[in-house]
Amino acid sequence: MDQSKEQRILNTVSYNAIKGNPESVLDCIDKYCSKSEWAMNVGDEKGLILDKIVEETNPSVVLELGTYCGYSAIRIARLLKPKARLLTIEFNPEFASIAKEIIEIAGVNDKVTILEGHSEDIIPQLKKKYEVEKLDFVFLDHWKERYAPDTILLEECGLLRKGSVLLADNIIYPGAPEFIKYIRNNKHFECTTFLSHLEYMKVEDAMEKAVYLGPE
């Protein structure tokens, strides 16, 4: 059976990237996906916005929803301080296993844990099973119609604290209208929109940053 696009991405990383060098893995994926096969990594343009917000937040505990090939997990993990950790949820077993290999090649596997399953099933387990107290930073990049319900679920599970930062990809393309409606009219969140472009394309896209202000 011929290989999947994701397997071809792993092959090019495995062949061309410098082992243990996260930047070279990111560059390798960006080159391949802009020249050979488009793929839904956050990419280099939105990636720079993600970098800046991660650096400003300097999080100890990060949750990512939607691992895919691990590009944004590597992007985030490479900026984390020594004891900090990133938990990333992926329900597609092929993507999860490819992401695991790419994350290992990047050399950030000591900071990253891939949790296989659906966000709605795993989020309620984070406190007890994964010993998470509060989340400092959440990157939403999974099913766009899950952004709003999962934000509500994170709050209900007591995983957000005053100052927790949510960053949502693709709020223009493919779009997350329910999330935008929910989060921008919610007095418990302070929102900022970062205009950019869809990864590897000239199409407009944006990311939404929402800082949780607390339950009161």
Ligand X SMILES: Nc1ncc2ncn(CCCCCNC(=O)c3cc(-c4ccc(F)cc4)cc(O)c3O)c2n1
The catalytic residue positions are 141, 144, 169-170, 199
Residues numbered 129 to 158 that lie near Mg ion (CB under 5 A) are 141
- Nearer Cβ to ligand X, position 14 or 92? 92
Is residue 130 within 8 A of residue 87, CB to CB? The reply is: yes
Binding ligand X (rule: CB under 6 A), the pick from 49, 89, 138, 206 is 89
| Residue 3 Cβ vs Mg ion, minimum distance, rounded to whole Å | 23
Residue 178 contact partner, candidates Mg ion, ligand X, none, CB within 5 to 8 A by sort of partner: none
In the numeric block, the tokens 């960006």 are attached to 30
Residues recorded for the chain: 216
Q: Does 30 bind ligand X (CB under 6 A)?
A: no
Strand order in the sheet with 204-212: 112-116, 85-90, 61-65, 135-140, 160-168, 204-212, 189-197
- Nearer Cβ to ligand X, position 163 or 203? 203
C-beta nearest to Mg ion: residue: 169
Q: Does 167 bind ligand X (CB under 6 A)?
A: no
DSSP-assigned letters across all residues of 130-162: S----EEEEEE-S-GGGHHHHHHHHHHTT-EEE
Distance CA 206, CA 107 (A): 29
Q: How far apart are the first and last CA of the chain?
A: 55
Stretch that binds ligand X, among 69-77, 101-109, 113-121, 177-185 (CB under 6 A): 113-121
SS3 call for 97: helix
Binding pattern to ligand X, positions 36-75, x when CB under 6 A?
----x-------------------------x---------
Which positions lie near Mg ion, rule CB under 5 A? 141, 169-170
